[in-house]
Amino acid sequence: MTDEDKITITVNGKEIECNKGDTYFEAINKHHIGIPTLCHDPELKPSGACRICVIEIEGARSLMPACSTPVNPGAVVHTNSERVREARQTIVELLLTSHPLNCIVCEKSGACKLQQLAYAYVPEERLSKYIGERPKSSLSEKNEFFVLNYEACIRCGLCVRVVDEIQICGVLSLENRGFDIYPSAGFGRTFEEAGCVACGNCVAVCPVGALVSNSSKGAGRAYDLKKIKTTCVYCGVGCQLDLVYNTETNKIAYVNSNRENVVNGLALCVKGRYGWDFVNHPDRIDTPLIKKNGEFVEATWEEALDLIEQKLKQIKQESGPNALAFLSSAKCTNEENYLMQKLSRAAIGTNNVDHCARLCHASTVTGLARAFGSGAMTNSISDLVNDSEVIFVIGSNTTEAHPVIGIKIKQAIVNEKSKLIVADPRRIELADFSEIYLQQRPGSDVALINAMMKVILEEDLYDEAFINSRTEGFEEFKKGLENTALDILCKVANVSVEDVKKAARLYANAKSASIVYSMGITQHTTGTDNVLSLANLAMLTGNIGRPGTGVNPLRGQNNVQGACDLGALPNVYPGYQSVEDAKIREKFAKSWGVSELDDKIGLTVVEIMNAAHEGTIRGIYIMGENPALSDPNLNHVREALDKVEFLVVQDLFLTETAKYADVVLPGVSFAEKDGTYTNTERRVQRVRRALEHVGNRRDDWMILQEMLNRFGISKKYSHPSEIMDEIASVSPIYAGISFDRIEKTGLQWPCKDKNHEGTKILHQEQFSRGKGKFHPISYIDPAELPDADYPLILTTGRILYHFHTGEMTRRSKGLHERRPVERSQVNSKDAKKLGIKDGDKIIIESRRGKVTTIARVTDKIQEGVVFMSFHFKESAANLLTIDSLDPLAKIPEFKVCAVKISK
């Protein structure tokens, strides 16, 4: 901001400096001169509807709304003159006349803006000055998550604007006109019928008690509640939220976004806002359990830890450290993951430590590390949606799996900042916002991307300067592409040549184009190839290292990025430092106070299960993971868990996996712990404790510390922040991170030292590996293709209302009520052939198992393909999936296997 952009105005007799283009509200508010608002929100375009913010501007014909009027140089304004106060008083009186004065029982009492304004502006004797007609109240909207109490609605329009400008779902509009106006889903529909995804962002902005979350009813008055800023526990977006909780009952009352953030703004999704009932759920384990004669019995911590110590030591002694394996958790904090791999490596002496990133983004880590040298999202959420001329979404059902990034992409499209290309085997919501939609056959991504690159090469749309200066291996890559003709590639992918050409041109001609992908790309036997192909595409067009460009994997779990960063992987220490590098080993050995560390790469998740099945792994310690539901070919996994000699599970619930355990340890949830998560854009953010521990539960980091101590690693931490300090000392990408520095806003790694501001965009001057490397990739078929016996392709994924194995979401009332059972998508033509109607019970069977589910007949999925989510243990999709692995990343092919359907 230069001096030219500064202007001066006089407010209540005092001169203040402000920025050109500011509204009076923005300019004056900075100086702590109170201007009340009802319909204003800094993230929404000003609407000027409620008129409570009117101010007197000398020379203006009437009072002007501060929220929408831009400052004029030299303006003389009054925010508290007699005229202004009278106007505000009348406006509040008018609103009160149409509003029930039932504050004494209203949920919003104490937090209601109208109540505050009445207190400030209306003398008691005027309270019932106006009498007359009240808005009609026969309407109602009640759903699993919130109610709209029309009687209390002050018709400020905020809910409608949030729907229009933030959520972009078109659910709400104002119905009728004049005094009869009200927010409505239209045509007499319920919100859900109109397409409401229950994000509750409308509830969050409602200034009065009109839109109220079911959960907050009776949970406490504003003065009974405290709030704490923390990070959402669901996907990798890392939304910042306020847990609002009642200290008396030790329960969460409701959740709102914390507005001091750079990630999500006011938005949250349905899981973030309503998916926390599991925290106070009666199913939570309160005390350690030891299995005796096939039954769990309650035990003391001493008994449980003694038994673990004894068994692990015994197995190590008898079969060596590599007979033990550790599964860390993408749901746990960075500090806990760090201690878990430390336990595995330093205390036991094995690199057999892995976690479920193996099942989601292992191919990202392998692929991007090979191409660029660093396996993470290259750019940031904000620049992706603010600076991209074109966004290419492939294999990511963003609006369901990463809803807040999904709405940001929608915003970029609707605000005409970006154009969208979508490639997905299913017609996902984003397809409706796209310029070009490509419905490729599952597993054909390499063919599709190669086809696009062929067009770019043939039409000379590639960035030669970038290729020459920043990359290597181009010629070989180019030669590789010459082998197959464009039309054959398009045929393999089952997309039209014309559409591929359009997509290629749109992507390549953009000044800045970013690629967004997720598990549709990674969960294949060719997952690494898919990722490498996307890296090729970005390098070919020079779309990397600048704002609005890049290759951007969206990480699936709240801390899957962090769990990888902190070395819960069998080949690297924290900060992606190789276990095969002697110097690195020496550094860690020294830091951890051990004489030597294992120099061999350990086993991955699926390999651990296979080894357990074979008997070479005798003991497994699992923290916060549920392989008995999340892994492919479940029957095999369950056999392995059954077979393994000693199994420890540290979790919140007696999960499918915990049922196989010998010892179960009760950990704590995100609402009960301190620490950090690292989100998908590499941002390390704080998790803060709100609730007291119930029963005999213990902090996970304390359990791990206790285990470390028992194995001779004597270091004691008084708080998770000290663990982070240790992380910073051994991991260069986290070197500058400490709890103090991320108190307000998280930092993005690499963060090299305590003064470094973090890194928004990777590979700006040069790639992490020096030069970006092209890899020639040829299309390979998925491991299992449909045949006469199993004629359909099964592809799996998430749905909006549930998460992972459903341990948390299915224990959240609203989410469970909204989607209590699996509904598997079957194409309408296939359904017709099979004689299946929407809602029919069906059996889906593969070579590995069969499940019963309910059919959702739709054209959103292509012919010959079936979609199942993996959230429901009653219809466990992974009984069907195949455990064929990508040879490099060892990720299983969740996205393609052959099945048949019967009734």
Partner 1 sequence: MTAEKQILICEGTGCKSSKSHEIREKLSLLIDEKGLEDEVSVSFTGCHGFCAQGPLVIVKPEGTLYCKVKLENAEEIIESHIINNTPVEELFYHDPKTGLKIEKYEEIEFYEKQKRILLANCGQINPEVIEEYIETGGYSGLRKALAMKPIEVIEVIKESGLRGRGGAGFPTGLKWEFCYKAPGDVKYVICNADEGDPGAFMDRSILEADPHSVLEGMLIGGYAIGASHGVIYVRAEYPLAIIRFKKAVEDAMKHGFLGENVLDSGFSFHLKIQEGAGAFVCGEETALMASVEGKRGMPRPRPPYPAIEGLWGKPTNINNVKSWAAAAWIFKHDVKSFREIGVEKSPGTAIFSLTGKVKNSGLIEVPMGTTLREIIFGIGGGIIEDREFKAVQTGGPSGGCLPESKLDLPVDFDSLQAAGSIMGSGGMVVADEDTCMVDLAKYFLSFTQKESCGKCTPCREGTLRALEILERITSGDAELSDIDDLEQLSKIIKDTSLCALGQTAPNPVLSTIKYFRDEYEEHITEKRCRARVCADLMHYQIDPELCIKCGICAKVCPVSAIPGSKETGYHIETRICTRCAMCYTRCPKDAIFKFPGAGEQ
Residues 846-885 that bind partner 1 (CB under 8 A): none
Please state the closest distance from residue 269 (CB atom) to partner 1, in A: 27
Rg (CA), the chain: 29
Q: Mask: binding to partner 1, 95-114, rule CB under 8 A, as x and -?
A: x-xx----------------
Q: Is 220 left (phi over 0), alpha (psi -120 to 50) or beta?
A: left
Nearer to partner 1, 105 or 131 (CB): 131
Q: Does 139 bind partner 1 (CB under 8 A)?
A: no
Question: Cα separation of 261 and 249, whole Å?
Answer: 29
Under rule CB under 8 A, residue 123 binds partner 1: no
CB of 548 to partner 1, least distance (A): 22
Pairwise CA distance, residues 377 & 550, whole Å: 8
Of 28, 35, 57, 69, which one interacts with partner 1 (CB under 8 A)? 69
Distance in Å, CB of 81 to partner 1, minimum: 12
How far is the C-alpha of 291 from the C-alpha of 271, rounded, in Å? 34
Secondary structure, 3-state, 619-632: EEEEECCCHHHHCC
- Side chain identity, residue 488: I
Stretch that binds partner 1, among 93-101, 565-573, 604-612, 695-703 (CB under 8 A): 93-101
Give whichever of 23 and 678 is closer to partner 1, judged by the CB atom. 23
Work out whether strand 675-678 and strand 419-423 pair parallel, antiparallel, or are unpaired: unpaired
Q: Which is nearer to partner 1, 181 or 694 (CB)?
A: 181
Q: What does the DSSP assignment read for 403-422?
A: HHHHHHHHHHHHTTS-EEEE
Of 157 and 443, which CB lies nearer to partner 1 in the complex structure? 157
Binding mask 628-667 for partner 1 (x = CB under 8 A): ----------------------------------------
Residue 5 beta carbon to partner 1: minimum distance, rounded to whole angstroms: 18
- Contact positions with partner 1 (CB under 8 A) in 456-515: none
CB of 125 to partner 1, least distance (A): 13
Q: Is residue 6 a contact residue for partner 1 (CB under 8 A)?
A: no
How many residues bind to partner 1 according to rule CB under 8 A? 39
Q: Which of 3, 125, 133, 248 binds partner 1 (CB under 8 A)?
A: 133
The number of beta carbons lying within 10 Å of the beta carbon of residue 861 is 24
Looking at 63, 393, 538, 896, which residue binds partner 1 (CB under 8 A)?
63
Subset of residues 152 to 181 that bind partner 1, contact rule: CB under 8 A: 154-155, 157, 173-174, 176-181
DSSP for 20-80, written as a single string: TT-BHHHHHHTTT-----SS--TTS-----S-TTEEEETT-SS-EETTTPBP-TT-EEESS
Exposure string over 24-50, b if 16+ CB within 10 A, otherwise e = bbbbbbeeebebbbbbbbeebebbbbb
Q: Does residue 352 sit in helix, strand or coil? A: coil
Closest by CA to 280, choosing from 890, 693, 866, is 693
47 lines the binding site for partner 1 (CB under 8 A): yes
Give the residue with the Cβ less far from partner 1, 169 or 568: 169
Q: Is 46 in the site for partner 1 (CB under 8 A)?
A: yes
Q: How far is the CB of 61 from partner 1 (least distance, A)?
A: 9
Q: Which helix (H) or strand (E) holds 246?
A: strand 240-246
87 binds partner 1 (CB under 8 A): yes
Measured from the Cβ of residue 722, the count of other Cβ atoms closer than 10 Å reads 16
Rounded distance, CA 525 to CA 780, Å? 9
Q: Quote the CA–CA distance of 135 and 150 in Å, as a whole number.
A: 8
What sign results for the dihedral spanned by CA atoms 827, 829, 832, 833? negative
Shortest distance, CB of residue 279 to partner 1, whole angstroms? 40
Q: Considering the rule CB under 8 A, would residue 753 count as an interface residue with partner 1?
A: no
The nearer residue to partner 1, 117 or 323, going by C-beta atoms, is 117
Q: How far is the CB of 673 from partner 1 (least distance, A)?
A: 45
Question: Residue type at 125?
Answer: E
| Cα within 13 Å of Cα(301), Cβ side | 15
**Shortest Cβ 131–partner 1 spacing (Å):** 8
Closest CA to 226 of 689, 895, 790: 689
Binding status of residue 384 toward partner 1 by CB under 8 A: no
50 near partner 1 (CB under 8 A): yes
> Which residue's CB is nearer to partner 1, number 123 or number 132?
132
Q: Where are the beta strands (DSSP E) in 608-661?
A: 619-623, 646-651
Dihedral of alpha carbons 516, 521, 522, 523, sign: positive
- Residue number, 134 or 837, with CB nearest to partner 1: 134
CB of 46 to partner 1, least distance (A): 6
Minimum distance of partner 1 from residue 156's CB (angstroms): 8
**130 touching partner 1, by CB under 8 A:** yes
Give the C-alpha separation, 649 to 665, whole Å.
6
Q: Can you state the percent helix, strand and coil of the chain, rounding each to 5? A: 35, 20, 45
> Shortest Cβ distance from residue 38 to partner 1 (Å)?
8
**Distance, CA of 422 to CA of 613 (rounded, Å):** 41
| 116 lies in the binding site for partner 1 (CB under 8 A) | no
Distance CA 143, CA 735 (A): 47
Q: How far apart are CA 398 and CA 385, in angstroms?
A: 13
Q: For partner 1, which stretch binds (CB under 8 A), given 61-69, 429-437, 742-750, 842-850?
A: 61-69
Which of 10, 72 has the CB closer to partner 1?
72
Question: Residue 129 Cβ, how far from partner 1 at the closest point, in Å?
Answer: 8
**Which of residues 172 and 658 has its CB atom nearest to partner 1 in the complex?**
172
In the complex with partner 1, which residue's Cβ is closer, 47 or 828?
A: 47
Query: Which residue among 2, 62, 293, 595 contacts partner 1 (CB under 8 A)?
Result: 62
83 binds partner 1 (CB under 8 A): yes
45 or 221, CB closer to partner 1? 45
Q: Which of residues 6, 31, 129, 850 is near partner 1 by CB under 8 A?
A: 129
Q: Does 132 bind partner 1 (CB under 8 A)?
A: yes
CB under 8 Å to 495, separation ≥6 — which residues? Answer: 438, 439, 440, 448, 451
User: Which CA distances in Å does 507 have to 420, 502, 538, 771?
Assistant: 9, 9, 9, 23
Does residue 119 belong to the site contacting partner 1 (CB under 8 A)?
no
- The footprint of partner 1 (CB under 8 A) covers 46-52, 54, 62-63, 65, 68-70, 83, 86-87, 90-91, 94-95, 97-98, 129-133, 154-155, 157, 173-174, 176-181
